[in-house]
């Protein structure tokens, strides 16, 4: 079991390094940082743009390998850089982490409980038609993108509220969804 867990941890670490490296290299290859200053009125002088790009380690005079090493070293030390406004990205990540956790924890609990219940039911009816129907339904739900499923669940909640005549499902920012009927 320990070997299995260790193998999973190492494979996830390799995946994170690969994905981060690929994202950095693609952004460096495709994006021209000078275009971020285009369209601003008044356009900053070239000296200001050069100073800003140099501060962000984005100038063309530094080789790509050196820029990547600097970026990777910063990420490993927990420094994710600065926003265009000069604020640390870490502060923005921490600010948004609470919202993500408020969605992740209840979703994980509901998904875990439902997964155990559905899995136990499918195991109890192994080989029968109900087992195949439950397994097929779960596979179908896993194949549907989350955002599509969210819209469908929202539309179903609106319909249930209309049929019952009572607001059973209420969500933050709920407005009239009469156009969904």
In this prediction the pTM is 0.50
pLDDT for 22-57, tens place per residue? 988 887 776 667 776 676 677 778 888 788 777 777
Backbone CA torsion sign across 92, 106, 109, 162: negative
Packing angle between helix 64-76 and helix 2-30, nearest 10 degrees? 140
Provide the residue count of the chain. 181
Q: pLDDT tens digits for 111-163?
A: 899 989 998 998 999 989 999 999 998 888 888 888 888 888 888 888 888 88
């Amino acid at each position: 079991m320990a070997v299995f867990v260790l193998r999973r941890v190492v494979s996830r670490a390799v995946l994170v390094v690969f994905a981060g490296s690929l994202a950095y290299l693609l952004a460096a290859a495709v994006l021209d940082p000078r275009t971020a200053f285009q369209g601003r009125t008044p356009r900053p002088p070239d000296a200001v743009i050069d100073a800003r790009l140099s501060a962000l380690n984005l100038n063309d005079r530094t080789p790509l390998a050196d820029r990547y090493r600097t970026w990777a070293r910063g990420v490993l030390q927990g420094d994710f850089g600065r926003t265009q406004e000069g604020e640390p990205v870490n502060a923005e990540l921490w600010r948004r982490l609470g919202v993500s956790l408020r969605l992740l924890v209840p979703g994980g609990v509901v998904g875990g409980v439902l997964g155990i219940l559905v899995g136990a039911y499918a195991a109890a009816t192994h080989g029968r038609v109900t087992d195949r129907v439950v397994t097929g339904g779960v596979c179908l739900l896993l194949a549907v993108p989350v955002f599509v499923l969210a819209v469908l669940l929202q539309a179903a909640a609106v319909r249930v509220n209309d049929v019952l005549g009572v607001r059973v499902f209420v969500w933050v920012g709920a407005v009239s969804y009469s156009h969904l009927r």
